[in-house]
Structure 1
């Protein structure tokens, strides 16, 4: 009987699903880490997608995140079915920043993040 779990070169144990996820992440990185992505263009400041605003001021917090989400508009990789959000689904949930035009609250609501998926039997 063959197993779907194999030992990795680092002496850890990985499954076929882990290897598939890692392969897909490398493919997505090759696609997304180009100047075609709005966030990767030479004039883009990475801090623009990670607004630092205290939650104590809800209006300022919302405005900062809306501005960050607007920066994603027009990017060929954004959207709930695009490669940017697909990458976010494969990685652990990120509680800060804008990814593919989504803020942390929306990503949590939609269970976007590997550690949030399949919560209560519902996959993102």
Structure 2
């Protein structure tokens, strides 16, 4: 296994796996499914970091890659806005539908983190 792959696993996958074991939905689904759902949410929130780091380190970015990451950022913004609007629209009932405890807050926090990470790239994309 290459050093880069080992760093990816140790810096992204393992913390997300541990967090998903600790904080996952309290719905009536199987425990394994709930943990997998939480793992997916947490990993998705930070999965774009290696791509953004690579794009920061190289001076020339391929236009198609830049357009893709920008489109991903716009999509994440609308997804985050959708979650927030749904919470207000349902007067908080959406949060109880997701379960109890820390999970609903962590879902929204993950959306906000991913949107913030991509917003930084979108800012520089529009600026250029």
Name the structure, 1 or 2, with higher relative contact order (CA <8 Å, separation 6+): 2
TM-score (normalizing by structure 1): 0.27
| Structure with greater strand share of residues | 1
| Structure with greater helix share of residues | 2
TM-score (normalizing by structure 2): 0.27
